[in-house]
Structure 1
Amino acid sequence: MAAPRILLCGDALGRLNQLFKRVSSVNKSAGPFDALFCVGQFFPESPEQLEEFNDYMEGSSKIPIPTYFIGDYGIGAVKILSAAAKDSANLGFKMDGLKICENLYWLRGSGKFLLHGLSVAYLSGRQSASSQQFGAYSQDDVDSLRALSEEPGIVDIFLTNEWPSGVTNRAATSGIPSGVLDPSIGDSTISELVAEIKPR
């Protein structure tokens, strides 16, 4: 069996036309790819961008390959994700993503699943002191991942929205985005999880 081919992207910020135009182009020239993982903010930053975003949610614009996101915050996130969470097709224990629309899946909370033989662990949202429903991970999400890390087996990829603190400690700084070099950037909880999960 051939290894799965995966695309990764950072903050989409609701610019789905731009994102999926690029994905289609890369898929045509270097594909086919099996999936796209989006980390960072998936939803728009401003209400003006919602129309473009909603075209995909309503099906008038198409998503070219299965796309998974963990950045469940931004304009429109609460409305869209609340509706998806209540959809009867999404009820139950679904670590492999709640279907938002055709080819779009929300990786909610935390979990681990297999995608084309690839073991993927994830922690959705950002660290927050408040107990908001979307956009932040909870202590329960962290504890669930810790429990999963004790199970036998390898985790190939660990998806998070925030950089782990200390991510630049042993790396050459030439390929690291400038904002990450700031020592205040990073999440210590994610650093701990990376050490426990040991993704390849």
Structure 2
Amino acid sequence: MRRLTSIQTSDPLAELITLAQAQARLRRGDGEDDGTIELVIVAALSQLDGVDGILGRALVSQGWADQLSGFPIGDRLPIVLAPVISVDSVTYFDADNVEQVLSPSAYALGHDCSGAYLRLDPNWSWPSTYDRDDAVTLSYAAGYGPAATDVPAAIRLAALDLVEHWYEPGVRVNTDEVPVMFMAKLRRFIRPKF
């Protein structure tokens, strides 16, 4: 089984950081440099949230689909992001290259210290798939919950700190890197990547 990609299928249900929160943190009035502040918010969140974020987590509830070249050899199918709220569907292309839906009774959602996974029911076996990169698609909802307040306060605070750090007028910063001081705050939330 080779993981092809993870695709965001729906946006977060709420903004983790609002423009008003960032303005208050930066001591800026309404309409004062809003475009730049909004851009910095997007940059900060892209460093933290989703598959490409350093945390390896979805923050506010959002939809994702993991595509794989086939089912695993063992009974566990790891899910890329944590925390997983629900599994919407598991679809696959059978040996005849016809798309099928795997019965929800064939698997259960499980969690351990390395994250979420689907565990195959002992009475089932993974079906054979057609030889294609996107043979299996696992669609799921991930995140701490539908509201920004569901996200741990340490993550919300670190996101605001990052916005403040990157906003400093007249200072050029590399938004491809997260400063060490923020990494220390976030260390316990970082999930290993597959």
With the shorter chain as reference, the TM-score category is under 0.3
Q: Which has the higher strand share?
A: 2
Structure with greater helix share of residues: 1
Higher RCO, 1 vs 2 (CA within 8 Å, ≥6 residues apart): 2
TM-score between both structures, scaled by the size of structure 2: 0.25
